[in-house]
Amino acid sequence: MLDSLYAEHLLVQRQRLDLALADCGYDSLAIYAGEPHVQFLDDQPYPFKPNPHFKLWVPTADVAGSWLLYRPSGKPQLLFLQPLDFWHKPPSTPREFWTRHFDITVLRAASDAEAHVRNLPRCAFIGEWNDRFETYDLADRNPANLLTQLHYWRAFKTKYEIECMRRACARAVKGHRAAEAAFRDGASEYQIHLAYLHACEHIDEELPYPSIVALNENAAILHYQHRERTSPRVRRSFLIDAGADFGGYGSDITRTYAHRNDDFAALIERMDELQQQLCQEVRSGTEYVDLHLNAHRLIADLLREAGIISLGAEEAVDSGISSVFFPHGIGHLLGLQVHDVGGFSIDTNGARRESPPAHPYLRLTRTLAPGFVVTIEPGIYFIESLLEKARSSNARKHINWNAVEHFKPYGGIRIEDDVVCTDGEPENLTRDAFART
């Protein structure tokens, strides 16, 4: 299945790239996978992640120092670095289904790439620049007009890409199931994280982004980065935002759980209903900004139902009170990068639509179209810095501070699914994976 889908995917990428190269005046392209970087005053490298433009074509991660060379005619050439090295195990020569679409040349030293790259006519370069490439006779490095076109088209995923994300979701859901079980068993954040990795069959470096594993008040920190080794004395809530990888494509899933069947559990249940309603709005022709604003209205209604605020939805949104409890965007594009590129692109010429001034953290402002894969992640949080600011503003009289103090120890709620925009009903990759697992 992946073989045939990948062949179609490659055809689409060639068509897009041929048009972009012709429009920008280039005859060929060299994409560098990148290389590890050594830590300051040390000899140990940071974890290596391939250039996403490289991953779009080459679905394997062990490619440090490799190149993809492309001309509109003929097979793409993969310069695969497999150094003679007795300190480390060199990467194995790839033999997977996708390799038949490439001419593969094995390099024994990084410098061997120069002769191949220099043979390309009027060649543009995409990747992290290194000064040693000055002698490679490249026409331009990371040209903005070429990147703008390629980033615009990245939003339209092929069937192969969607299948990779479908499998990444399935892998992540196994981790989420294990993480919830560990939470119910009284595990610490650190122990929950280990359970997640084990179920996904990942190590940390293979995750599409660092997992957020937050108990109690820590769930109020949007990108909580620590993993406490000891379990809290009182267990109230658990928020996990964690994905997995398949073929270079990521999933991005968040779930929130209550320790007891209390009023916070009821709030989670209402948020889950609200979130599924928003997922149904992922339709071709929908403005993502409108979907975001509707999320604010729905969340404001929920806050009022829960007795946390006293304003109606429109007033809560217009006054900014809903942003006190929901400060981030409703979601983003997903793909080779967890926050995939092209979220503000209107066209291939570089025109952009920025986020609304009142909602500066929204990462996607485009009109949804078939092939877009987006996250839908509404939330309610009790963040002290935002609450403190509200206490000293006109908003204070519309907030039930007793209710706020009651819910603050729980931290917050976020529920996030990965959703495909189609010609008809949206496909919820995450809910489907939970239903199968």
Instruction: Determine if residue 365 is left, alpha or beta; phi over 0 gives left, psi from -120 to 50 gives alpha, anything else beta.
Output: alpha
Query: How high is the pLDDT of residue 119?
Result: 93
- Sketch out the chain's domains with CATH numbers: 2-154 (3.40.350.10), 159-436 (3.90.230.10)
pLDDT, one tens digit per residue, over 19-78 is 999 999 999 999 999 999 999 999 999 999 999 999 999 999 999 999 999 999 999 999
Judge whether 340 and 334 are in contact, CB under 8 Å: yes
Amino acid at 323: S
Residues counted in the chain: 437
- The string over 387-403, giving b where at least 16 C-beta atoms fall within 10 Å of a residue's C-beta and e elsewhere, is beebeeeebeebbeeeb
pLDDT, one tens digit per residue, over 270-303 is 999 999 999 999 999 999 999 999 999 999 999 9
Residues of the chain under the 50 pLDDT cut:
none
Per the confidence metrics, is the pTM higher than 0.85? yes
Query: How high is the pLDDT of residue 259?
Result: 98
Query: How high is the pLDDT of residue 60?
Result: 94
Query: How high is the pLDDT of residue 417?
Result: 99
Query: How high is the pLDDT of residue 167?
Result: 98
For 260-314, give the DSSP string.
SSSHHHHHHHHHHHHHHHHHTT--TT-BHHHHHHHHHHHHHHHHHHTTSB-S-HH
Provide the sign of the torsion angle of the four alpha carbons 191, 197, 201, 205, taken in this order. Answer: negative
Question: What whole-number distance in Å separates Cα of residue 125 and Cα of residue 118?
Answer: 12
